[in-house]
Structure 1
Amino acid sequence: MLHIENLCVVRGQGAQAHYVCLPQLTIRPGEIVAVTGESGCGKSTLLEAIGLLLRPASVGRFELHDEKRLDVAKLIQANHQAELADIRARHLGFVLQNGGLLPFLNVQDNIQLPCQLLGSSPDKSMLGRVIEVLKLGPLLSKYPAQLSFGERQRTAFARAIMHRPGLVLADEPTAALDPYNAQQLFRLFIDLVAQEGMMALVVCHDWPLVQRFNLPCLVARLDSDVSDPSGAPAQRETHFVL
């Protein structure tokens, strides 16, 4: 389970500051939550903070229950970077908008890379299941440059979950796909996350796609800019609420 309370990230300084806040979020194994909102509202910033890539200005509670209870907030507050990096590597999986595959590794080696970096062997039954569901069998010996964008994204999904992370974070994974392929890829991703008992947060600008799969949504509520007497823009705040 993931439980977060009162997480806030600040981008910029002074009158240009943008506060990105998450009052409360709970996700249970097998659940997928979409993150939606207008461009520039802070969706990717929120994902980076939850993914421990960006240190929040404040956090009240941040717990990740995987094999054991991980008090992430305590580690953030104490700035224990080594422990946070270990949690990021072992308990989180990432899917980037452009796939983020290593060009000098073939599909099979890209998929198994997180396991290799952790010094563990991939679960063979899960590997076979992921390859079958994502239709990667004919692609295993190919390199990223030989793949279509959709094939690269399917490979990126496989890589993100092969080390069995508790939480998968995906940032606009279908943004460059046509509607049909976006729907197909989204369905495969949702099915795999649910089957493996993982949790997922997916940033998605495609509201009809989110509605089609009836996903719960963290919706950005952006306060209107307010100018001070000099005409300069005041601080902005985005609150993400279910």
Structure 2
Amino acid sequence: MTTRAAPLLEIRDLAIHRGQWHIQLPELHLAKGELKAITGASGCGKSTLLELIGLVLKPEQLGCYRLGQQDIGQWLQADDQARLADTRAQQLGFVLQSGGLLPFLSVQQNIQLPRRMLGLPLHSDAVAQAVDCLGLKPLLHQQPSQLSIGERQRVAFVRAIAHEPALLLADEPTAALDPPQARRLLELMIELVQGLNMAALLVSHDWALVQDCGLSRLAAQTTAGGSCFVPC
């Protein structure tokens, strides 16, 4: 008889109010190599949910939050900001909708920044693989202002995984791209998340793209007072 491996990410009974809007996540499990989409109508709380999971916001209600062997929920309840900050820096990677690249750094310097800040060796085989897969080698010495939107988003993705985090969180990373670019970036994200054995959550308004790429998703079920995100 085989036993099921413990999930990399386990969350239960997560909730918060944003103004009069109540956002709930009853349950979430993510395994290594798994990428799941968060979908729903505009304004339903998708980005807020990502910020909760990313430890940017403190939940008002929480049953369980475990990342690997770490009991994050205990640190949230104790408001242990030092441990939460360390977790954000070391175990989480963020891809912002805007890309968020520093304009005064080159592409290579932007990608190396998370490793430099954590005192890691600047070279990483995983990062080199990602740069190669995403076709970024010719762009390494350029500034973000010299890149197209699609190129900036690819760089932002590599920077988010440069320190090889356990969990990647991406907020509408394909929103500014045309359909072929969006599909290509998402396919590469799936390939690299699986190859690097991390887990990922992706906020997306593009339900068709999510479906075409075969992703499971958390869909917002909305009422007059809020959203509840459930597997779909």
| Residues in 1 aligned to 2:176 and 2:101: alpha-carbon distance in whole angstroms | 16
Please state if 1:75 is matched with 2:44.
no
Structure-1 residue corresponding to 2:4: none
Contact 2:13 2:27 in 1 (8 A): yes
Contact 2:127 2:161 in 1 (8 A): no
Alignment of 1:38-187 (within 5 A): 38-65=41-68, 69-187=69-187
Q: Which residue identity lines up with residue 55 of structure 2 in the other structure?
A: L
Q: Which residue identity lines up with residue 4 of structure 1 in the other structure?
A: I
| Residues in 2 aligned to 1:124 and 1:81: alpha-carbon distance in whole angstroms | 29
Alignment of 1:207-218 (within 5 A): 207-218=207-218
- Tell me how far 1:9 sits from its aligned partner: 1.3
Structure-2 residue corresponding to 1:230: none
- Tell me how far 1:181 sits from its aligned partner: 0.5
Q: Which residue identity lines up with residue 109 of structure 1 in the other structure?
A: Q
Structure-1 residue corresponding to 2:22: 19
| Residues in 2 aligned to 1:40 and 1:193: alpha-carbon distance in whole angstroms | 28
| Residues in 2 aligned to 1:124 and 1:135: alpha-carbon distance in whole angstroms | 17
- Tell me how far 1:212 sits from its aligned partner: 0.6
Structure-1 residue corresponding to 2:5: none
Structure-1 residue corresponding to 2:205: 205
- Tell me how far 1:132 sits from its aligned partner: 0.5
User: Of 14, 20, 27, which aligns to 1:7?
Assistant: 14
Q: Which residue identity lines up with residue 9 of structure 1 in the other structure?
A: I
- Tell me how far 1:82 sits from its aligned partner: 1.0
Structure-2 residue corresponding to 1:232: none
Could you tell me the percent identity over the aligned residues?
52
| Residues in 2 aligned to 1:124 and 1:31: alpha-carbon distance in whole angstroms | 22
Tell me the secondary structure at the aligned position of residue 104 of structure 1: coil
User: Of 230, 238, 241, which aligns to 2:230?
Assistant: 241
- Tell me how far 1:122 sits from its aligned partner: 3.5
Deviations, residues 93-135 of structure 1 (Å, cap 9, x unaligned): 0000010000000000100111111111144322221110011
Contact 1:122 1:162 in 2 (8 A): no
Tell me the secondary structure at the aligned position of residue 62 of structure 1: strand
Count of residues in correspondence between the two structures:
224
Q: Which has the larger radius of gyration?
A: 1
Tell me the secondary structure at the aligned position of residue 41 of structure 1: coil
Tell me the secondary structure at the aligned position of residue 57 of structure 2: coil
Contact 2:58 2:76 in 1 (8 A): yes
Q: Which residue identity lines up with residue 222 of structure 2 in the other structure?
A: L
TM-score scaled to structure 2, two decimals?
0.95
Deviations, residues 11-61 of structure 1 (Å, cap 9, x unaligned): 11xxxx111000000000000000000000000000000000111111110
Please state if 1:36 is matched with 2:36.
no
Q: 116-125 vs 30-39, which deviates more?
A: 116-125
Contact 1:122 1:163 in 2 (8 A): no
Tell me the secondary structure at the aligned position of residue 114 of structure 1: helix
TM-score scaled to structure 1, two decimals?
0.91
Deviations, residues 80-102 of structure 1 (Å, cap 9, x unaligned): 11110000000000000010000
- Unmatched tracts of structure 1, length 5 or more: 226-235
Moved over 4 A (4+): none
